[in-house]
């Protein structure tokens, strides 16, 4: 079994399943602290890494289920087993119903309690406790099934600093304690102990440069099992090596496309794989791979194809595969393998992988049910509010081109939160709580501005909170103010005041008599110069108005101001100012 990053194919862990059929990956971290929907599980039949894997969503040992204070949640789950023996029908025989219900209450901001019942061959009571104190870096999740005997699952994590963390996991199979210590930038030590498998530890380091990247993880346990994982990138060249007591895998990739990042476009592949548990079997594969630049929302490539030829101890034969997203939520994969590291039998598979996320609609490539919904987040939709009514009407465009620069959440830029950027929305996974969302003018599209600069957003567990961000047209009025002799007036205060008097923008002329009123919205404005109204001048801005309006003003003999018509070739600003 492999734990693979959802965005990219970097392997975070690998285990060999024994006769119990149990596998787990402990203490897998991400930017929020621990495992979430950034990972998938690849299951390789008979340990053959060249075979087509079965792909599953990664899941917690015990999923944190804390909810806000004063809130409540009802959880229900149920299903049947399906048996095909002695039944040739499409659906088979349904049997072995299992299910349960639970009710949770947010007792306080730190504590959530739950009770319920489960049926699994017999009825069992269920108790739950989720505790996360505000001033201590501790997270506790404990659930117990009460039947003939108590069955407890515990997930306890303690992060006293950014450089050190401890985690304890316990279930009916074993108890496990993990520790990680970042001793230097990019270098960390890890140790773990398991009541079933003993104790182990090792070293992990990663370094990145402008055109290179190195990642390595080396570990050994009390059973003298040595395991390693190495990834080295240098420009268009990538070397990946994996090894454990079962076998080794070495993969050399060279990108043929113009971009240096080898995961996209055309690449040449050279793989060498061994299996020590099958009479030292080996397989050398050479071939070509293509990955499209477009991706589905979970990181899978829109198109991926591979063609190669394998030679090994079990024989020789071609290997080919193609994968694509054909319908919303439907991934189609076909693979032919003429030889593998453990068998000379050819295999052909066609797989359909389906999952749908319906919040906010669906589009081609959507497979969002893999996201853990107990965490929550924001569903952000900046849009160009052409009619300035604060609502997204039909035909108004969603703007996500520069959202990383536009949105700031709790003083953190969106990029640091690793948001899921899509063509019609941005998904940001966040813990339940209250957040401040600010809009940075650096991310505004040209000639547009924010109707509101800051928002307060409440995130609840279990869903994405929709946040619509209307962007309105930004108008500017500029010109030169002169005296009766045509000379520029320096230091004059020019004001644009809405007809209701609620909004007021001003500018002060420079030595050339130039003023510049910006961030005007649609509507009617009165113009004032040094507190005096401009005669016969009402400024009207609507959807048909130009983004920059030229308006030159001149003072009359009675110190009153009037508007001047600009000449055909007249420029409002001097060359340097205009630039």
HEC readout, 325-394: EEECCEEEEEEEECCCCCCCCCEEEEEEEECCCCCCCCCCCCCHHHCCCCCCEEEEEEEECCCCCCCCCC
- Same domain? 109 vs 165: yes
pLDDT at 372: 40
- Same domain? 463 vs 345: no
Instruction: Let me know: does 379 contact 425? Beta carbons within 8 Å.
Output: yes
pLDDT at 467: 92
pLDDT at 327: 62
Burial 542-579 (b: 16+ CB within 10 A, else e): eeeeeeebbbbbbbeeeeebebbeeeeeeebbeeeeee
Q: For residue range 390-446, list pLDDT tens digits in order.
A: 888 888 888 888 788 889 998 888 877 878 887 788 888 887 788 999 998 888 888
Give a yes or no: residue 489 inside a domain: yes
Give a yes or no: residue 164 inside a domain: yes
pLDDT at 265: 85
Give a yes or no: residue 431 inside a domain: yes
Closest CA to 369 of 295, 468, 424, 297: 297
pLDDT at 190: 92
- Same domain? 479 vs 500: yes
Give a yes or no: residue 465 inside a domain: yes
Q: What domain count does the chain have? A: 4
* CATH number of the domain enclosing 454: 2.60.40.10
Helix (H, G, I), strand (E, B) or coil at 113: strand
Give a yes or no: residue 268 inside a domain: yes
pLDDT at 370: 42
CA 261/CA 237 separation, integer angstroms: 9
CA 187/CA 400 separation, integer angstroms: 36
- Same domain? 357 vs 468: no
pLDDT at 405: 84
CA 45/CA 53 separation, integer angstroms: 7
361 CB-near residues (< 8 Å, 6+ apart):
424
Give a yes or no: residue 192 inside a domain: no
Q: From the CB of residue 368, how many other CB atoms can be counted at a distance below 10 Å?
A: 23
pLDDT at 61: 47
Give a yes or no: residue 125 inside a domain: yes
pLDDT at 579: 35
By residue range, what is the domain housing residue 361? 1-61+246-372
Distances (CA, A) of 348 to 59, 169, 187, 284, 334: 29, 40, 43, 20, 8
Q: From the CB of residue 229, how many other CB atoms can be counted at a distance below 10 Å?
A: 21
- Same domain? 417 vs 431: yes
Give a yes or no: residue 175 inside a domain: no
β partners of residue 171: none
- Same domain? 111 vs 149: yes
207 CB-near residues (< 8 Å, 6+ apart):
186, 213, 214
372 CB-near residues (< 8 Å, 6+ apart):
36, 37, 60, 63
Instruction: Let me know: does 376 contact 435? Beta carbons within 8 Å.
Output: no
φ, ψ of residue 503 to 5 degrees: the values are -120, 140
Residues of the chain with pLDDT under 50: 31-37, 61-63, 357, 362, 364-373, 567-579
pTM: 0.50
């Amino acid at each position: 079994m492999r734990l693979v990053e959802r965005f990219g194919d970097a392997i975070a862990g690998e285990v060999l399943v024994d006769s119990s059929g149990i596998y787990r990956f402990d203490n897998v971290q991400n930017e929020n602290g621990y495992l979430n929907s950034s990972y998938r599980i690849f299951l390789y039949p008979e340990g053959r890494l060249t075979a087509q894997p079965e792909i599953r969503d990664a899941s917690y040992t015990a999923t944190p289920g804390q909810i806000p204070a004063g809130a409540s949640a009802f959880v229900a789950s149920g299903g049947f087993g399906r048996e095909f023996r002695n039944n040739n029908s499409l659906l088979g025989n349904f049997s072995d119903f299992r299910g349960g219900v639970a009710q949770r209450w947010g007792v306080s901001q730190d504590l959530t309690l739950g009770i319920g019942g489960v049926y699994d061959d017999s009825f069992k009571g269920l108790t739950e406790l989720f505790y996360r104190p505000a001033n201590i870096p501790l997270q506790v999740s404990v659930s117990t099934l009460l039947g003939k005997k108590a069955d407890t699952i515990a997930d306890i994590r303690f992060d006293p600093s950014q450089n050190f963390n401890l985690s304890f996991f316990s279930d009916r199979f074993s108890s496990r304690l993990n520790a990680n210590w970042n001793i230097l930038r990019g270098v960390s030590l890890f140790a773990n102990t398991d009541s079933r498998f003993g104790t182990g530890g090792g070293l992990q380091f990663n370094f990145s440069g402008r055109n290179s990247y190195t990642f390595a993880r080396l570990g050994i346990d009390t059973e003298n099992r040595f395991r390693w994982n190495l990834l080295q990138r240098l420009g268009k060249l990538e070397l990946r090596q994996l090894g454990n007591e079962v076998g080794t895998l070495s993969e050399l990739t060279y990108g043929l496309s113009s971009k240096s990042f080898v995961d996209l476009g055309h690449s040449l592949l050279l793989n060498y794989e061994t299996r020590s548990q099958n009479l030292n079997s080996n397989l050398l594969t050479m071939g070509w791979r293509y990955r499209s630049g477009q991706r589905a929302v979970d990181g899978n490539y829109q198109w991926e194809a591979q063609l190669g030829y394998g030679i090994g101890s079990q024989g020789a034969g071609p290997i080919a595969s193609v994968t694509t997203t054909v319908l919303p939520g439907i991934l189609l994969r076909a693979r032919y393998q003429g030889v593998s590291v453990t068998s000379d039998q050819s295999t052909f598979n066609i797989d359909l992988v389906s999952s749908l996320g319906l919040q906010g609609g669906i589009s081609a490539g959507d497979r969002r049910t893999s996201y853990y919904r107990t965490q929550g987040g924001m569903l952000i939709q900046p849009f160009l509010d052409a009619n300035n009514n604060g609502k997204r009407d039909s035909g108004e465009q969603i703007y996500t081109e520069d959202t990383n620069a536009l949105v700031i959440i709790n003083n953190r830029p969106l990029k640091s939160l690793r948001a899921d950027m899509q063509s019609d929305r941005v998904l940001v996974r966040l813990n339940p709580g209250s957040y401040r969302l600010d809009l940075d003018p650096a991310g505004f599209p040209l000639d547009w501005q924010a109707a509101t600069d800051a928002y307060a957003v409440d995130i609840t567990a279990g869903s994405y909170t929709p946040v619509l961000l209307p962007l309105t047209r930004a108008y500017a009025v500029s010109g030169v103010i002169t005296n009766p002799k045509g000379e520029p007036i320096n230091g004059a205060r020019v004001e644009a005041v809405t007809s209701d008097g609620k909004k007021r923008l001003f500018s002060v002329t420079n030595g050339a008599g130039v003023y510049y009123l910006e961030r005007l919205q649609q509507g009617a404005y009165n113009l004032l110069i040094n507190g005096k109204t401009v005669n016969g001048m009402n400024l009207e801005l609507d959807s048909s108005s130009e983004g920059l309006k030229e308006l030159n003003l001149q003072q009359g003999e009675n110190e009153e101001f009037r508007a001047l018509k600009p000449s055909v070739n007249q420029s409002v600003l001097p060359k340097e100012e205009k630039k």
